[in-house]
Amino acid sequence: MFKVKLKKFIKRACPLIFYLFIACIPIQTVKVFKDAKLNGNTWEYGKMMIYGTDILIFLLIIFFTLEIWLLKKKRGQVLENIKKTSFLWFFVVLSFVFIFLAIEKELALYNSIKILEFALLFLFIVSHKISFKRLSFSLFFGVLFEIVFSFWQFFNQYSPAIKLLGMSVYHPYIPGRATILVANRLYLRTYGTMPHPNVLGGYLVIVLFFLLALLFSLFNQKKPNVLARLFLSIIYFLALFNLFITFSRAVLGVFLMGLFVFFFWLYKKKPGFSSFARQIFVMSLLLISLFIFLFSGLFFARFDSSSAQYQSSNIERGEGYNIAIELFEKRGLTGVGAGNFTLAHYKLINDTLDAWVYQPAHNIYLLVLVEHGILASVFFGIFLVRILIRFFKKIKSKLLESEWFVAVGLSLVAVLLISLVDHYFWTLQPGRILFWVVLGLVWRFGIMKK
């Protein structure tokens, strides 16, 4: 009797916790249990901490474990999924094995546990039926607060430290903040509740793809709710405007590409949507044009390749790549240890810089190679390639007619392309969540028949 009640409870609890977790991605509530400093200043990438979203993942893992124990059918399904994703688990195991050879063993252990945590989140997603509509509504509710807060922060050019949300003070004249220089004045790019504007941009681009899919799924209903569609359209356009005030170059480029692909797909596969789709597409372009007109000074300063900030950013990224190559030459076989890139830079190359200068390489594939070594990186690379193969095999199936398939596919492309020029999908909590959730959803589509 107890087992029956427990099964029912778990069956209800797992989806609730998962969709709550998705809604909470922007919330950075965190407890730092070990601080870190380099050269007397705070070293962000050396901190050890637990986020509120980690607690939700741990709850999911606990219920998932109970589910496997109670349900024989689920046990078989999970074992089958582990076998099919074996290269991921080889990578996870090697991450722990190479702790003993890491620059800083405690930091490597912490980051290896994080990798295991997100690998288990991935396994949870691929082992459960996911309602893409509920997932999109969760993203929708999560982005509501983010939109309001980001607008307030950007137009106020300031936001106070909010410990509950894990936020520092943001002001354009605080050293290290992401800014744009126009006519000798600094302007703060919007962070929202995220650790960096680029992270907010990465979050918003995925949310926008799912909002578009949700919008057209509501349009497809036999009795479409006009008010719901209107409200959702407004939120989509506000989120789009919010995306642009992050001034994240890579994200904006990826989104514009995805926008054209989405509407081209609608034109080809959903002719019944043509009128509504045309309206949304034209209004999106008009909003983008309006933004460029209203904030032309900021926009062109941000995209001016001759500006000091633009060149400085490129130099920093180039130096990061050179440092990665140098570290690989020193420790390429076993890597420097999970999460040890910045410490390896400090200990093996240059120990005289300010703490904030020690940044991970702005390319997660290079970062994984340097931190985990050749063998582990090969396993991780094969895992990613297998995900891509499984997904693109479905392009010829009827799944291509689903707006959710397109949203997930565009999210995957966004994550993989942005990962070529930034590191947050591997190093920062909200980025890690997005990375593994998207990979999990892609794998789910790979095993779906319809």
pLDDT of 381 above 90: yes
pLDDT at 449: 52
> What is the C-alpha separation between 154 and 446, in angstroms, rounded?
40
pLDDT at 399: 66
pLDDT digits (tens, 9 = 90+) for 389-421: 988 887 776 666 788 889 999 999 999 999 999
Query: What average pLDDT does this structure show over 92-113?
Result: 97
Which has the higher per-residue pLDDT, 353 or 368? 368
pLDDT at 307: 81
Query: Residue holding tokens 């990465």?
Result: 202
Average pLDDT, the chain: 91
CB 246 within 8 A of CB 193: no
Chain Cα centroid distance, residue 167: 18
Tokens in use for 193?
């509740």
Tokens in use for 318?
């180039």
pLDDT of 1 above 70: no
pLDDT at 390: 87
> What is the C-alpha separation between 194 and 147, in angstroms, rounded?
12
Task: Return the HEC string of 357-421.
Answer: HCCCCCCHHHHHHHHHHHHHHHHHHHHHHHHHHHHHHHHHCHHHHCHHHHHHHHHHHHHHHHCCC
Q: Tally Cβ neighbours within 10 Å of residue 409.
A: 25
Tell me the pairing of strands 41-42 and 185-188: unpaired
Query: What average pLDDT does this structure show over 354-359?
Result: 89
Query: What average pLDDT does this structure show over 5-17?
Result: 87
> What is the C-alpha separation between 319 and 324, in angstroms, rounded?
9
pLDDT of 447 above 60: no
pLDDT at 90: 98
C-alpha angle 300/303/306, rounded to 5°? 100
Tell me the pairing of strands 41-42 and 30-34: unpaired
Tell me the sheet residues that pair with 50: 31
pLDDT of 382 above 70: yes
For the ranges 159-173, 236-250, 361-375, the lowest mean pLDDT is seen at 159-173
CB 213 within 8 A of CB 136: yes
Torsion of CA 201, 360, 172, 243, to 10 degrees: 0
> What is the C-alpha separation between 310 and 321, in angstroms, rounded?
17
**pLDDT-derived band at 80, boundaries 50, 70, 90:** very high
Query: Residue holding tokens 């790549």?
Result: 321
pLDDT at 450: 52
CB 148 within 8 A of CB 190: no
351 by DSSP, 3-state: which? coil
Number of residues that make up the chain: 450
pLDDT of 448 above 60: no
pTM for the structure as a whole: 0.95
pLDDT digits (tens, 9 = 90+) for 166-221: 888 999 998 888 999 998 899 999 999 999 999 999 999 999 999 999 988 877 66
Cα distances (angstroms) measured from residue 166 to each of 41, 50, 117 = 19, 11, 21
pLDDT at 293: 93
C-alpha angle 43/44/46, rounded to 5°? 70
Query: What average pLDDT does this structure show over 249-259?
Result: 94
Residue type, 324: A
> What is the C-alpha separation between 356 and 371, in angstroms, rounded?
19
Residue type, 334: T
Query: What average pLDDT does this structure show over 58-81?
Result: 90
pLDDT digits (tens, 9 = 90+) for 293-337: 999 999 999 988 878 788 888 888 899 999 999 999 999 999 999
- Distance from first CA to last CA of the chain, Å, rounded? 36
Tokens in use for 118?
């997100």
- Closest by alpha carbon to 258, among 93, 152, 414, 136? 414
DSSP string, 161-225: -BGGGTB--B-TTSTT--EEEETTEEEEPP-TTSSSHHHHHHHHHHHHHHHHHHHHHHHTSSS--
DSSP 159: B
pLDDT of 350 above 60: yes
Backbone angles phi, psi at 159, to 5 degrees: -150, 140
pLDDT digits (tens, 9 = 90+) for 280-297: 888 999 999 999 999 999
Cα distances (angstroms) measured from residue 213 to each of 219, 399, 404 = 10, 14, 6
pLDDT of 445 above 60: yes
Burial (CB count <10 Å: 0-12, 13-18, 19+), residue 317: middle
Tokens in use for 165?
């949300």
Residue type, 240: L
Tokens in use for 339?
């999460």
SS3 content of the chain, % helix, strand, coil (to 5): 75, 5, 20
Torsion of CA 404, 410, 411, 416, to 10 degrees: 150
Tokens in use for 146?
């983010």
Query: Residue holding tokens 């076993």?
Result: 334
